[in-house]
Chains A and B, each alone.
Chain A
Amino acid sequence: GQQVMQIPQYQHVQEGEDFTTYCNSSTTLSNIQWYKQRPGGHPVFLIQLVKSGEVKKQKRLTFQFGEAKKNSSLHITATQTTDVGTYFCAGRGAGGTSYGKLTFGQGTILTVHP
């Protein structure tokens, strides 16, 4: 079945440092979504990428979708304490038995030290 791997599992940074989490799928994706879950909270949708090679920015956050539509990354520039939380990618299968199925990566837990 479809697998979505996300690394690193944990990331500790000093406030002001950059942060990147990577997501890799075992199968080609039709689209990929990113969610943020604050400690004790629920996942909140951040963005969706659909096109091969797509890059989207939200203030200090930059999202990329790979050319082969099998990998994605989220980069945060100059982290702030408000960025603390778990970042999940969720890929939607493009074909076969995984068609339409949204599979979450394991998440990257970001800690920001002030």
Chain B
Amino acid sequence: DAMVIQNPRYQVTQFGKPVTLSCSQTLNHNVMYWYQQKSSQAPKLLFHYYDKDFNNEADTPDNFQSRRPNTSFCFLDIRSPGLGDAAMYLCATSRGQGTYEQYFGPGTRLTVT
């Protein structure tokens, strides 16, 4: 089945130690998003790619970076994780922008020790 896959599902990292989360999709969608979701809160958009065009949200910390080497894969790099970065990180895709629905992956739960 076509889907959005995230690896790993659970990630533990140490304070300040760089970590990379990955997302892949078999939907061949043009747009890929990264959201941060903390407990009992709404998903917060960090950035998104429309094809190769990167769009950063104004309030996304510089500590968060992203790469999209091809249509299928997108990575979230956290350069120096702090305790406040512990959260669920959700990857989503959509065929385009505008009226298109978003398909979410299962998420990666990040713990910072």
Contact = CB atoms under 8 A, between A and B. Distances in A.
Given A31-B99, A92-B98, A100-B97, A43 B90 contact: yes
Nearest to A44: B104
B42 A42 contact: no
Interface of B: 40-45, 90, 92, 97-99, 101-107
B101 A48 contact: yes
A109 B40 CA distance: 8
Interface of A: 30-31, 33, 41-45, 48, 50, 88, 92, 100, 102, 104-107, 109
20 contacts: A30-B99, A33-B101, A41-B106, A42-B105, A42-B106, A43-B92, A43-B104, A44-B104, A45-B103, A88-B42, A88-B43, A92-B99, A100-B97, A104-B42, A104-B43, A104-B44, A106-B42, A107-B40, A107-B42, A109-B40
A42 B102 contact: no
Nearest to B88: A42
The residue among A42, A104, A105, A107 with the most chain B CB atoms within 10 A of its own CB is A42
B97 A105 contact: no
Given A42-B90, A43-B90, A106 B41 contact: yes
A106 B102 CA distance: 17
Given A42-B90, A43-B90, A105 B42 contact: yes
